[in-house]
Structure 1
Amino acid sequence: MAKRRQRPTDPRDPRLWPTRVGLALFWLIGQLPWDLLLALGRGIGHLGWWLARKRRHIALTNLRLCFPELSDTEREALARKVMVSTGEALMEMAGSFHNRRIDLGQRLSVTGLEHLEAARERGQGVLLLGMHFNSIDVGSRLLGKFFTFSVVYRPNDNPLLDHLITEGRGTWLKHSVDRRDLRQTVRLLRQGEVVWYAPDQDYGTEHAVYVPFFGVPAATITSTSRIARMGKAAVIPCAHYRLPGGRYKIEFGEPLTDFPSGDDEADTALINRTIEHYVRKHPEQYLWVHKRFKHQPGGQPKYY
């Protein structure tokens, strides 16, 4: 059996030269006016519906599982919107990382900020319950207008892409914490810091339980309750939406009550219900191109 080639880890590796060219183009695109960026993103999304067949299949599968009440026609229409939103997100990333001239705060409305401010006045750390909406990068930049915060993330396997993301977000982030570094996350919370943490992807079955997400068993990590307990933190939902006309909205929810409860499964089910509540407001903007139900209980069919 042929040995699998290792991915390059040295940024100087010649195999990463195409990435360098792509990142240079990404920087150039990021200089475009914001409304033009979004229009370009919509075009990319429409094109992606026909070319990115694998992602289209994943999105359609997720929507079939999570929205069984929709007809096939309604589900396809929603999936098209998902692809368009994903295209907009790619261009938003370019602008968020590389265009400091535009004041995105003029395009922003916020609700529920008082919940976060109340926790901080008590000197309590805040674990922002993040969600993988497509506007994740522009949302992070906008959050930085109100407070300094850190984010828990999974490092990218490509060192150049990882550098792009950490440097692009670094302007408004205090720390980018590897999701495996639980101690650093807890330390920041005990110091009264704000930490953004999103547990709504399929990270495998280790330290995970199967709890419903839109009524479908989803492997979901139990770390949220453990981090909140160890960090003595308030857990506050944080959703960010793209509005018509290139405007944005950040919505902070009330802190989760009786959380953590000591029951990991019940706590994780509450997390999924909370995220589902916010996703239903703008389902076309959620990251449905991710295999959220990749792992299933033993004997269950594979969805993808």
Structure 2
Amino acid sequence: MLALYRLVSGWPLGLLHALGAALGWLTWLASPTYRRRLAAHARLAGYRFAEVRPAVAHAGRMALETPRLWFGPPVPIQWDGTDVVDAAYAAGRGVVFLTPHLGCFEITAQGLAERYRARYGSITVLYRPARQAALARVVETARRREGLETAPTTLAGVRQMMKALRAGRAIGLLPDQVPPEGMGQWAPFFGQPAYTMTLAARLLLQTGATPVLVWGERLPRGQGFCLHFRALAQPLAGELAPAVEQINRAMERLIRECPQQYLWGYGRYKTPRPATA
């Protein structure tokens, strides 16, 4: 698998995105369950399928651009809202970058590591280890790069992120990822109860770190990506439950900036899996 990823990583980004778009539509056509879930999730947010139709192709683009981002040459990155990032780092309390399953979330950590590591140190990103051994080796190899550290979804990983924040460094995670049972709370997401991780809010409340919202827009015709940074609309609530709900609302606002690139087919409203020992 690693050899295949390295082979594809040399292909032009525009070609990968074109092939990925076709893959996205083939997946959509082949799976009635996926079609129903995508349309239902978009409908909860107030969108007709016609309004989020491009999301089908973008899901495929995300899959095929990954080898290029992991093993290929750098891709062009544009920056929007870096004043928010500069202010967050300057506060000196650590930074928590929050992004939903929107656009290209792989490029956000890479871009931040490249731009800010020399001045502010590495960024630590939370990841869920792959269950397949071959894929796990690929991921481990791919994400081993200067300025970028990874923390698994374990107690040791949480301690690693806490340590980074207390040292004034940055971490990144996807708060709309469904956590294992016992590691979240039910909170509204586009008006529907969704099992939501409490980790992001806990880290912010316990460390006083600064939250920054970010998403990576996939630019047309393989031109690269644009990283958009936003501050929370209001200061984070001081209690856990309302803070979790506030982060969900913040994710909703980001998604509404570009619903055509959100992963509407992601199982956001699924019942959480049991926690493993």
Query: What TM-score comes out, normalization by structure 1 length?
Result: 0.80
Counterpart of 1:41, as a letter, is G
* Structure 1 residues 6-60: Cα deviation after superposition (integer angstroms, max 9, x where no partner): xxxxxxxxxxxxxx3xx43332222111211111111212222212443333212
Q: State whether structure 2 residue 132 is matched by structure 1 residue 158.
A: yes
Distance 2:4 2:103 in 1: 21
**Any gaps of 5 or more consecutive residues in structure 1?**
1-19, 297-304
Change (3 A) 1:207 1:26: closer
C-alpha contact 1:115 1:255 (8 A) present in aligned 2: no
The alpha carbon displacement at 1:171 in A equals 1.9
Residue 265 of structure 2 aligns to a residue whose secondary structure is coil
- 1:32: which partner in 2? 11
C-alpha contact 1:45 1:87 (8 A) present in aligned 2: yes
Q: State whether structure 2 residue 227 is matched by structure 1 residue 250.
A: yes
- 1:123: which partner in 2? 92
Matches within 5 A, 1:223-242: 223-242=199-218
Query: What TM-score comes out, normalization by structure 2 length?
Result: 0.87
Counterpart of 2:257, as a letter, is K
Name the stretch that deviates more: 236-245 or 83-92: 236-245
C-alpha contact 2:104 2:215 (8 A) present in aligned 1: no
Q: State whether structure 2 residue 165 is matched by structure 1 residue 189.
A: yes
2:236 aligned to which of 259, 264, 268: 259
Q: State whether structure 2 residue 39 is matched by structure 1 residue 65.
A: no
Change (3 A) 1:112 1:125: same
2:153 aligned to which of 162, 179, 188: 179
Q: State whether structure 2 residue 188 is matched by structure 1 residue 212.
A: yes
C-alpha contact 1:151 1:176 (8 A) present in aligned 2: yes
- 2:275: which partner in 1? none
* Structure 1 residues 239-278: Cα deviation after superposition (integer angstroms, max 9, x where no partner): 11112233321111125643241x2221111101100001
- 2:119: which partner in 1? none
- 1:91: which partner in 2? 64
The alpha carbon displacement at 1:237 in A equals 0.9
Residue 257 of structure 2 aligns to a residue whose secondary structure is coil
Q: State whether structure 2 residue 276 is matched by structure 1 residue 276.
A: no
**Any gaps of 5 or more consecutive residues in structure 2?**
117-121, 273-277
The alpha carbon displacement at 1:134 in A equals 4.1
- 1:142: which partner in 2? 111
Change (3 A) 1:174 1:129: same
Higher RCO, 1 or 2 (CA under 8 Å, sep at least 6)? 2
1:112 aligned to which of 81, 88, 107: 81
Distance 1:110 1:25 in 2: 31
C-alpha contact 1:239 1:251 (8 A) present in aligned 2: yes
Distance 2:147 2:194 in 1: 30
Distance 1:62 1:257 in 2: 27
Distance 1:34 1:173 in 2: 23
Change (3 A) 1:63 1:172: farther
Counterpart of 1:288, as a letter, is W
* Structure 1 residues 173-206: Cα deviation after superposition (integer angstroms, max 9, x where no partner): 5311012232111111000111002110222441
Distance 1:52 1:27 in 2: 29
C-alpha contact 1:124 1:190 (8 A) present in aligned 2: yes
Counterpart of 1:178, as a letter, is P
C-alpha contact 1:56 1:83 (8 A) present in aligned 2: no
Distance 2:97 2:143 in 1: 17
C-alpha contact 1:30 1:37 (8 A) present in aligned 2: no
Counterpart of 1:189, as a letter, is L
C-alpha contact 1:243 1:249 (8 A) present in aligned 2: yes
Residue 145 of structure 1 aligns to a residue whose secondary structure is helix
C-alpha contact 1:204 1:219 (8 A) present in aligned 2: no
Question: Percent same amino acid among aligned pairs?
Answer: 27
Distance 1:36 1:235 in 2: 35
Counterpart of 1:50, as a letter, is L
Distance 1:51 1:124 in 2: 48
C-alpha contact 1:128 1:195 (8 A) present in aligned 2: yes
